Structure 1
Amino acid sequence: MKVLVKLIFLLTMTTPAFAQADFKTEQLKFDRVSAAYEEKWNSLQEALRSAGIGRPFKLYMAAYKAEGKLELWLKTNGQKTHQLFRTYNFCAQSGILGPKVKEGDLQTPEGYYYLNVFNPKSSFHLSLGISYPNQVDRFRSGKEKPGGEIYIHGNCVTVGCIPLTDDKIREVYVLAVEAKNAGQDQIPVHIFPFKMTAGNLNTYLKQFPAHRAFWTNLQTGYAYFEKNHMIPVLSEKSGRYLFK
């Protein structure tokens, strides 16, 4: 009886780890995910080894609208700083620089988000949902509907999402599954209007002066990551991001 009680206790203590590990198992039940792993995972593992990135790892994504780039930064669990692993090109874009304000405006959001959906049966091959709108977005939208359903996905069409082609989304999706399966519950996705250097900010504000307050606020988090290669600790209040 004592042995049985001890066994039940050990199983109870380890259940969360097994439950987390089941995420990859569940994803691999879908044909597109299993095909993505078969096609991409061996080469990705080799690239990780060549870059000196161990497993498990944590993932951070940074998107830049003007440049049309999505950067994937990784760090091995236990390390403090991220290193750039891959950069992907957007294969289509809609809207102009500036945040998304309302449903149907064709804008890609700008701000600090995280992945909140893994869709292995997407109409756009595979897709990763972004947590738009957040509190800052809702504050900005006021009485307007802010919209939603913003994804990083395959194919090359968009009305505000970030499309990468089917080939590239397979790599991004696999890396995201690996990070989540290893215990990263929130994978940050930070979307910027452009690389927010002081020079770029001054240049683009001449074209879009109405975004001065918002872009200056965004730049604080951008500058922190560029300097430290660490994700800033932030919160949202009264339509602004607050950084610690």
Structure 2
Amino acid sequence: MAGCVSSALDVDTKGIQPIPAKLVAEMKRKGMTPSSPILVRIFKEESELEIWKRNANGKYALLKTYPMCRWSGQLGPKKKAGDRQAPEGFYHVSADRLNPNSQYYLSFNLGYPNKLEAALGYSGEALMVHGACSSSGCYAMTDEGVAEIYAVAREALKGGQTSFQVQAFPFRMTAQKMARNRNNPNYGFWTDLKKGYDSFEVTRRQPKVAYCDKRYVFDTEFAGGDPLDPLAACPPAISGTDPLVATRTERDLSTAETMASTMTGTTVHAYADGGMHPTFRKLLAASGDKALSKKTSLTKVPISRPEAALADPYSASE
């Protein structure tokens, strides 16, 4: 399969479920409203999805972190259809990418390949965040989890947000984790992603994304506007990255280099086929896939490759 495809089923009420009252109350407590803009961050290694919302101060604050039931492939970007890789990069999801008729309960399409990935010749389609606990290049959140995520996204888009940004990372991009993965072939790509990660970490504002010189460029104003060709050299910049962001990135990468030189193991974890959040993995290990299916209301779609999920090498205690 090229990705986690959707099917045209009869429309029902699952796509119009309200945001749970408890979560609305949490928004109010944090100075947010259901219509406030959102931003989503995804972390493969930790198997977590975060929803951030803009508050009354105009900056984004964390609303909720959701455990991910399943993702497939390895750490690293998706490059071709059928490789089972879940995408890594920056994506923008508009209302037309929300699917209330998904084969996997509810879903939204990340929009892979983005402009940079398409220019690099990467292939694949229908890469989603969806329900169930089955992945073929997607991020599966369980039906319960995606219902809440979908409702929050829907209301933000109805409130006037044209699209929301999704940032998909291999792991939380700390100096220690960069050091541990220093010898991975994707390290250069990850240092590029880290600049966008750091932009948000420092400013709590959505980074502006552009593409040139076969890479992402963040928070930069170019003479003549954004570059049109992701493969061409970057044009002259009028203004660049916030100095505080640049300092953080330089410091962390320097620290990572120093740490990597003293680490005994700097090779990235090898996955049998993707991962699963420890809460789900423990239940799967203790009771099997049937018990996990019952626990997470996964009655229609079987868990993908449960043996590989149990082999997930990541430990939350690291």
TM-score by length of 1: 0.80
- For 2:144 and 2:153, the matched residues in 1 are separated by 15
Residue aligning to 1:31: 13
Q: Residue 113 of structure 2 corresponds to which residue in structure 1?
A: 133
- Report if the CA contact (8 A) 2:181-2:187 is conserved: no
User: What secondary structure sits across from 1:123 in the alignment?
Assistant: coil
Residue 173 of structure 2 corresponds to residue 193 of structure 1:
no
Counterparts of 2:59 and 2:23, CA distance in 1: 20
Give the deviation of 1:234 after TM superposition: 1.7
Q: Does the 8 Å contact 2:60/2:204 carry over to 1?
A: yes
Contact map agreement 1:135 1:239 (CA 8 A) in 2: no
Alignment partner of 1:122: what SS?
A: coil
Report what 1:165 is aligned to: 142
Measured in 2, the distance between the counterparts of 1:55 and 1:137 equals 32
Q: Which residue does 2:6 correspond to in 1? A: none
Identify the match of residue 124 of structure 1 among 104, 119, 123.
Answer: 104
Normalized per residue, which structure has more helix? 1
Tell me if structure 2 keeps the 8 A contact 1:102–1:146: yes
Name the amino acid aligned to 2:119. Answer: F
- After TM superposition, list the pairs within 5 Å mapping 1:162-241 onto structure 2: 162-206=139-183, 208=184, 210-241=185-216
1:46 aligns with 2:21: no
Going by fraction, where is strand more abundant, 1 or 2? 1
Q: Deviations over 1:99-147 (max 9, x none)?
A: 000000000111000114110010000001101101221233x3xx610
Q: Which runs of 5+ in 1 are unaligned?
A: 1-28
Q: Structure 2 unaligned runs (5+)?
A: 1-10, 221-318
Cα distance in 2 between the residues matched to 1:91 and 1:81: 29
2:44 counterpart residue number: 65
Count of residue pairs brought into register by the alignment: 207
Q: Is the 8 A contact 1:135 1:237 kept in 2?
A: no
Q: The residue matched to 2:155 in structure 1 has which SS?
A: helix
Residue 93, structure 1, aligned to residue 75, structure 2: no
Displacement after TM superposition at 1:47 (Å):
2.0
1:94 partner letter: S
Q: After alignment, is 173-182 or 210-219 more displaced?
A: 210-219
1:81 aligns with 2:56: no
Aligned-partner SS, 2:101: strand
> Do 2:34 and 2:155's aligned partners in 1 also have CA atoms closer than 8 Å?
no
The Cα shift of 1:164 comes to 0.5
Paired letter, 1:213:
G
Q: Percent identity?
A: 33
* 2:42 and 2:169 in contact (8 A); partners too: yes
CA distance in 1, matches of 2:98, 2:207: 24
Aligned letter for 2:176? G
SS at 1:205 equivalent: coil
Asked if the contact 2:44–2:169 (Cα under 8 Å) also holds between the matched residues in 1, the reply is yes
Task: Answer whether contact 1:139 1:238 (CA < 8 A) is retained.
Answer: no
TM-score by length of 2: 0.62
Cα deviations by residue, 1:50-107 (Å, 9 ceiling, x for unpaired):
333235301000001111110100014x633100000011101210001000000000
Detail structure 1 runs of 4+ shifted over 2 Å in the superposition: 40-44
Report if the CA contact (8 A) 1:128-1:151 is conserved.
yes
1:32-65 Cα deviation digits (max 9, x unpaired): 123x22xx43232122123332353010000011
Instruction: Read off the aligned partner of 1:159 and give its amino acid letter.
Output: S
